[in-house]
Structure 1
Amino acid sequence: MAHDLSGPAKPATRLDYGRRIARAMARIAADPARAPSLDELAEAAAFSPFHFHRIYRELTGETPAETLARERLSRAAGLLVRDALPVAQVARRCGYGSAAAFTRAFRAAYGIPPAAYRDAGGIGAPRPPGIPEEERSMFDITIRAEPALRLAAMAHRGPYTQIGTVFDRLMAWGAARGLIRAETRFLGLYRDDPSSVPAKELRAEACMTVPAEVEAADGAGILQLPPTRVAVLVFKGPYAELEGAYRWIYRDWLPTSGEEPADQPCREEYLNDCRTLPPAEWLTAIMVPLKAGS
C-alpha cells in the first residue's frame, strides 16, 4: 500500500500535500490512454517539477508512470475479459502505440499474452482445483461474522473496473493523515448489479477502516457498517475477472445454501497489495451480507 510521508512535516502541510497529489492522480485517471507530461502533473498538484516526483512517490508508494501503467493494464484486462475485443483495438483504447507494445506490457504483468488471456476468459481462480464439483461449495464459501466497521469512503460512479482511481485518491488521503497502518483494511462497497444497471450509473464506494477520531474531509465521508454475517469467497486473480465469481455465487451457491442476502451492498476486501504483486497473485475476499439466523 502507499507509504507514509517521513520527516517532521506538520499535519496541515501533510493534508495539503495529499489534496494536491490527489489532483495529479485525477489528471492521470481522466484519460489513461494519454500520458500527461511531468509539467501537467506538477501544475495540477501546484508543485515544482523538480520536487513533484519525490512527493508523489512518498505519498502514493509508486511513480506517476507506474500509476498510469497500472491504470492502463487494468482497463485493458476488463476490455479483454468482459468485451472480448481485438487486441489491436484494446491497445489503441488504452494508449499503447502498437499491439506489439501492448502485448509485451500485458505479458510482463499478467504472465500471458492478451489474446490468450481473452480467449481463456482470464487467469483467476475462484475455486480450488482438484475438488469434485459436488463438494466445491463447502470449500469455496465461508460464513463468518464481520465486526462493526468505521470507514472513510470516497464515492465512485461509473464502471466498477475504474474504481481503482478512487482507491488511489483514498490512499493519498489516508497517507497524508498517517492512517495507513498494518491493521488498516481496504474495502469496496458495490451497490448495483453491473448486468442490469448501465455502466455509467453504477454506484460504489472505495473505503478504508479508520479510528473513531477521524472525521470526514476532502471528499472522504464516514460510513458505519453494523456487525454482519457474510458469505466469503476468496478470489485469486485480476480484479477484472471478479464478476465471474459473483455469477457463481448468485447462480450456483446462494440458491442452494439455505441463506438469504441482507439489505446491504456487497463488499470486497483487498487482501494484498496490487502495486507490488502480479495480477495473478491478487487476493480479493468477496463478501455477500446475509440475514442473521438464516
Structure 2
Amino acid sequence: MNKTYKARIDRVLQYIEATLPNKILLADLAETSHFSVFHFHRIFTGIMDETVNDYIARRRLECAVNQLIFKTDLSITEVAHRNGYSSSANFSKAVKIHFGFTPSEIRNPDKIKNSKIGNVSSKYGKAFNPSDLYPNRITNNVMKTTKLKGTQMNITVKERDSQRVCTMASQGGYEPTAIFAAWDKLIAWAENNGIGSSQQERFAFAFDNPTVTPIDKCRYTTSIAIGNDLPVNAPFEVSEIPKGKYAVLYYKGSPEETIDAQLSIYSDWLPDSGFEPDDFPMLERYLNDPRVDGYLEMEIHVKLKEVCG
C-alpha cells in the first residue's frame, strides 16, 4: 500500500472516531484526507474494503453495543443519543438489523427466544451471540469453570510514566498471521536499531472488542518501547503510552482465552474499584513468545480515571 495513502486514510479514521456521535459529512472526510471529494470514496473503499457509510455505521453500532454491555447505568435511550441516533426506535432497528438482536436482548440474553441472523454474520461472516458478551454471564458461567484452570490472575493498580514507543499496525486485525507478521517486522527493526530481543519491552494497543467487531476489522497495533532520541521512519510510527493509573492484570494461559481474562477486569473488578476506564485503548504487555512456549504470558493494562458522579 502506498505510504502516503495509508497515512491519509489513517487521519480519516482518527477523525471518524473523534466525531462518531455527530453527523459526518463526506466532504469533511475528503478534506481531512487531502484527496479529491470525487475520488475519496473509491480510495477509502479500496483500502478499507468497506464503504465510508458502512464503516461509520459499523463503528457507531460497535461503540453502542459496548456501552450496552459495560455501561449498564445508561438507559437504552441514553446509549442511542450518545451514539448519534435520533431515537431509541431508530437505534433498536439498526442494532437488530446489524446484530440480529435488539438492545434489550443484548442486555438480557437469558430472555432471548428466537432471532434472525444479522448483517454482522451475513456480511462479515462473524457469529454473534449476546451470551458471549454480557460480563456477568461470562463471570458466572466461564470464569468459574475449569476453562481457565491453571492460569494465574492478579489485578493491581499501578502508576505508569509516559513511554515513547515505535509502532506498526496489523494489516489483518486480530488474525494471528497478521499479528505475527507485524511483530516480526517491528522486532527486526528494534534489533537493527540496537534493542536486543531480551531488552525489548513489547506492548500491543488493542482498540476493539473481538466479541463485537469482526476479527479482521479489529484494530491492533504492535509497539516496542524506545528512547526519546531514536529516530523512527515509515512504515513505522511513533506513539506514546500516557502517564497515569492503570489496572494491571497478570495472565498466563491459552491465547484463545485472553478475552475472558480481559472481560473479568470490567465485570469483576471495575464496578467496585472506584475507577472507570479512560479513553485510552487496552494495552497488552507481552512477557514471552507464545509461538515458542505454547502459552501466553502477559499483563493486561487498562488506563483508569476516577468515577464521575
**TM-score with structure 2 setting the length:** 0.48
Alignment match, 1:108: 97
Q: Does the aligned pair in 1 maintain the 2:76–2:103 contact within 8 Å?
A: yes
Within 5 A, what are the aligned runs for 1:128-277? 135-138=146-149, 141=151, 153=167, 170=169, 184=181, 188-189=204-205, 206-208=220-222, 216-217=233-234, 220-221=237-238, 230-232=252-254, 234=256, 243-246=262-265, 266-267=284-285
C-alpha change, 1:209 and 1:63, in structure 2 (3 Å) is farther
Summarize deviations over 1:172-223 as a string: whole Å, max 9, x none: xx69xxxx96953588347xxxxxxxxxxxxxx952489xxxx544882399
* Structure 1 residues 286 and 105, CA gap change in structure 2 (3 angstroms): farther
Judged with a 3 Å threshold, the aligned counterparts in structure 2 of structure 1 residues 243 and 231 are, in CA distance, closer, same or farther, namely closer
Structure 1 gaps of 5+ residues are 6-13, 143-150, 155-169, 191-204, 224-228, 252-264, 269-284
Give 1:184's aligned amino acid: A
CA 1:114/1:236 → structure 2, altered by over 3 Å: closer, same or farther?
A: farther
Query: After superposition, where does 1:55-70 map in structure 2 within 5 Å?
Result: 55-70=43-58
Which residue is 1:278 aligned to? none
Instruction: Give the CA deviation at 1:234.
Output: 2.6
Quote the Cα distance in structure 2 between the aligned partners of 1:289 and 1:46.
39
SS of structure 2 residue aligned to 1:234? helix
Contact kept, 8 Å, 1:28 with 1:36, in 2: the verdict is: yes
**Quick one: which of 64, 67, 70 aligns to 1:79?**
67
Give 1:236 shift.
Answer: 9.6
Contact 1:232/1:288 (8 A) holds in 2: no
> Structure 1 residues 95 and 39, CA, compared in 2 at 3 Å: closer, same or farther?
same
Amino acid at match of 2:181: T
Deviations 1:4-38 (A, max 9, x none): x5xxxxxxxx1111222222222211110123211
| Change in 2 beyond 3 A, CA 1:76/1:58 | same
CA RMSD of aligned residues (A): 4.8
The 8 Å contact of residues 252 and 296 in structure 2, kept in 1 or not, is answered as no
**Corresponding letter in the other structure for 1:135:** T
Identity score, percent:
22
CA distance in 2, matches of 1:55, 1:267: 34
Query: 1:287: how far off?
Result: 5.7
- The structure-2 alpha-carbon separation of the partners of 1:71 and 1:219, relative to structure 1 and needing over 3 Å to count, comes to farther
- Asked if the contact 1:35/1:68 (under 8 Å) is kept, the reply is no
Alignment of 1:20-31 (within 5 A): 20-31=8-19
Out of 275, 282, 298, the residue aligned to residue 288 of structure 1 is: 298
